[in-house]
């Protein structure tokens, strides 16, 4: 995906895929904690934080892509 940059412009499929990749990566990195304490983890706060972080990163990548596309034209 190249940091969320798509040469064809912003596309909702690429944004959704970028969100899924970031979310999956965060879950993968926290999998050790998930398996160590399954009765207290994941908490609603952790789920909210992970989803919000993924969404913010996706919006940053989409904004960077839009800015790059605007400079090229």
Angle at 17 between CA 60 and CA 66, to 5 degrees: 35
Q: What is the pTM of this model?
A: 0.72
H helical segments located in the chain: 12-29, 31-36, 44-72
Reading phi first (left if > 0) and then psi (alpha if -120 to 50, else beta), residue 63 is in: alpha
Q: What is the pLDDT of residue 71?
A: 76
Q: What is the pLDDT of residue 66?
A: 77
Q: What tens-digit pLDDT sequence spans the chain (73 residues)?
A: 455 556 665 567 778 888 899 999 998 988 887 788 777 777 888 889 999 999 998 888 888 777 777 776 6
Enter the DSSP assignment of 30: T
């Amino acid at each position: 995906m190249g940091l969320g940059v798509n040469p064809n412009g912003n596309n909702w499929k690429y944004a959704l895929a970028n969100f899924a990749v970031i979310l999956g990566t965060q879950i993968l990195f926290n999998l050790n904690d998930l398996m160590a304490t399954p009765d207290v983890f994941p908490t609603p706060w952790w789920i909210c934080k992970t989803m919000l972080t993924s969404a913010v990163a996706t919006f940053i990548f989409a904004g960077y892509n839009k800015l790059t596309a605007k400079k090229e034209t």
